[in-house]
Amino acid sequence: MNNILKYILLSVAVLLCLGYAVFAAANGNSTAKEQVCSALKVHINDFDHRQLISNTEIAKLLESEGLNPMGKTLKRIKTKSIEDAIEKHPMVRQAECYKTPGGEIIVNIEQRIPVLRVVGFENYYVDDLRKPIPVSQNFAAYVPVASGRVTRKMATGSLFDFCEYINKDPFWNNQIEQIHINDNLDVELVPRVGDHIVMMGDFSRYQQKLEKLKKLYLYGLNQIGWNQYKTIDLQFKDQVVCTKK
């Protein structure tokens, strides 16, 4: 009899505890939903190196879309809507938005990564996914600049491959200032050091062409001076043709 009574009492105690836990959870969830957003915190990745978009722009964008969370209860704030609105910005690759127990709205933003810039008839960047993006009003990315008769197909194709190669090589990244496509669609390189133009022809065999030019720079122009020639032609397979001023 005593064992049966103990079992009944224990069962009642367990049921009471479960009931209280359910009530507390429901009440706590209701309280959380009524909590008002205390802060909007925007974190932009790699902001020290690229400032394609600013916190101020994000705040204005959310305000214009009616998605500013400040002053709203957490249950009214749709984090997915905030993410979708921010990801429509051309400088944004991805956005993540979430709520904290303290009532803050956190937004993490991944910026696009420019690889080259096209100037002239059109003015835009091409990012590392080969997608054209507009020039930022906040920041000028330190990337190769291409001018002249640059088509979108070229900018996202052979020119992109060439610029990506330059960006990964410290020597060429510091030496090549501009890439110009002339009216004959030939490639001309404008160096940072030296008063000459490098004639490449097209982008075929560009690694071998640049290797020839590097040897000329290191073992030729370093000895005789960097301002001796008007043009340096790399189009011939086994030689470099230099034209004096």
Q: Output the pLDDT for position 180.
A: 97
- Half-sphere exposure in the Cβ direction for 197 (13 Å, CA): 11
Contact between residue 105 and residue 77 where contact means Cβ atoms under 8 Å apart: yes
Determine the Cα–Cα distance for residues 125 and 147; give it in Å rounded to an integer.
12
Task: Give the predicted TM-score (pTM) of the model.
Answer: 0.77
User: What letter represents residue 5's amino acid?
Assistant: L
Class of residue 144 by CB neighbours under 10 A (exposed 0-12, middle 13-18, buried 19+) = buried
Q: Output the pLDDT for position 8.
A: 55
Determine the Cα–Cα distance for residues 16 and 2; give it in Å rounded to an integer.
21
Going from the N-terminus, what domains does the chain have, and what CATH number goes with each?
Answer: 39-111 (3.10.20.310), 114-244 (3.40.50.11690)
Residues (pLDDT < 70) of the chain are 1-33
pLDDT digits 0-9 by tens, 72-82: 999 999 999 99
Q: Output the pLDDT for position 26.
A: 44
DSSP class of residue 36 equals: B
Q: Output the pLDDT for position 28.
A: 45
